A and B are shown apart, each in its own frame.
Chain A
Amino acid sequence: MPETLTETHATETPATETHELSAARERLALRQASLLSALVVGTPPPEGFDRARLRVQARALAAKRADVIAKIAPELPRILGAAYREEYLAYAAGHPLTGGYRQDALAFARQLLDAGTPADPGARRELRRWWRQRSGPGAHRSRELLRLARTALGRGRR
């Protein structure tokens, strides 16, 4: 499986970059951030854009995201059946992509489970099993270690 990259995001300005370039980066950063926020969060679009086209672009990004998730986690559309797309698009509307797709697929499944979805108990059990396998065993082990550490330090909770 391809590795997931951990980004380092060097944001400091290296000595080799001119003040003009840094200023250009900042101006561009603001323009791109306000546009992307309109597309993935639904904040008001910046001045001068064709709003109908931005809606087309926003839908295209969400649809693409649903396709990618279906590809990297084919179990989700299998478990959810025909409801997958609608459920994912509803989730995506409130959860812009901030990291990798695997993380996003897990968060989507977690949200469904928290909402008691899917209604069918068998499907819900299958989804829970999928979520648990994908978020562990590393995740479980580290949570367990954290609990033990807290207990050892006398700050154990429940």
Chain B
Amino acid sequence: MTQEQTQLGTGIGWRPEIAAGIDQLFGIDWVEVVAENLCHDHLPEPLTRLRERGVTVVPHGVGLGLGGAERPDPGRLVALAQRAELTESPLVTEHIAFVRAGGPMTASPRFEAGHLLPVPRTRDALDVLCANVRIAQDALPVPLALENVAALFSWPDEEFTEGEFLCELVERTGVELLVDVANLHTNHVNRGEDPVKALDQLPLEAIAYVHVAGGFEDDGVWHDSHAHPVSEPVLEVLRELCARVSPPGVLLERDENFPPVAELAAELDAIGRITGDAQGVVRA
């Protein structure tokens, strides 16, 4: 199964737009950076500075599409492995999603989705995902953790719940989990899937870290925008998770509509109060 996870602490998604602000967050333990936005041979200067301060940098991939039908692309795997080595990260993370489809297997053109789409929770998709995860694990120098994604729609004829699907995945591959509580909330609103039930079914010991992010509801649909403040229902899912297990790490994601750093610091404080990060977490 899974090995002893690294204690990461409280972190924030590093984006170039808030690099200066993150520099001022002295209590920050770690940052996550989109793997595809890194060059293969050097880190952006602000990230190098953070590393020198002892801040852990974790590469977070968005382009592998391990939930896709094809074997993961060798070039993309090599690139992700390089980013893991470049950051000297204790792990790398990706998503349980497909991001492209079509091509030779379907005799149709190949299209990119440009974002993460949910896989059908069926026996077929699980078998393929597990095979792809093993290929990825063989190619990576550090453990891999996979994230549950936010969905705007449901696949018909699903055979597993979210919890069951993730349990099987962990059992069969030993992969770790990145549990995004905002995505659990999203799927509650959009698919009627109870996050408490999902948490009850999850293999909690496999959690490598937790994502928290803000979104908004429009016309009965939750959009996981990463452009809005973290709202109470998302924090409530985090509370439920922390009532069951003490996650090794928690990370705030903000990708758009960046507020002043003090606002992000306040959100990190609120998250730290829930996870029990006693240090008073971060100060801008």
Contacts and interface: CB of A to CB of B under 8 A. Distances in A.
B223 interface: yes
B259 interface: no
Of B113, B119, B123, B256, most buried by chain A (CB within 10 Å of CB) is: B113
Given A8-B75, A48-B157, A25 B115 contact: no
Contacts of A56: 152-153, 221
Interface in B80-137: 98, 100-106, 108-115, 117, 119-120, 123-125, 127-128, 131
A1 B38 CA distance: 8
A152 to B, nearest CB: 35
Interface string B152-165: 11111100000000
Given A5-B75, A17-B131, A29 B114 contact: no
Interface stretch (B6-14, B64-72, B243-251, B274-282): B64-72
A9 B69 contact: no
A8 B74 contact: yes
Nearest to B255: A67
A39 interface: yes
Contacts, number: 137
Nearest to A67: B256
Contact of B101 (A33, A48, A67): A33
A108 to B, nearest CB: 13
Interface residues of A, number: 48
Interface in A28-63: 28-33, 35-37, 39-41, 47-50, 53-54, 56-57, 60-61
Interface in B13-50: 36-40
B127 A9 contact: no
A26 B98 CA distance: 14
27 contacts: A2-B37, A3-B39, A5-B79, A7-B73, A8-B73, A9-B104, A10-B73, A11-B103, A21-B131, A26-B105, A28-B125, A29-B106, A30-B106, A32-B68, A33-B101, A35-B117, A40-B113, A41-B111, A48-B157, A53-B153, A53-B221, A56-B153, A96-B111, A97-B112, A98-B110, A98-B111, A98-B112
- Which 3 pairs across A and B sit closest by C-beta, in order of nearness? A48-B156, A29-B69, A53-B153
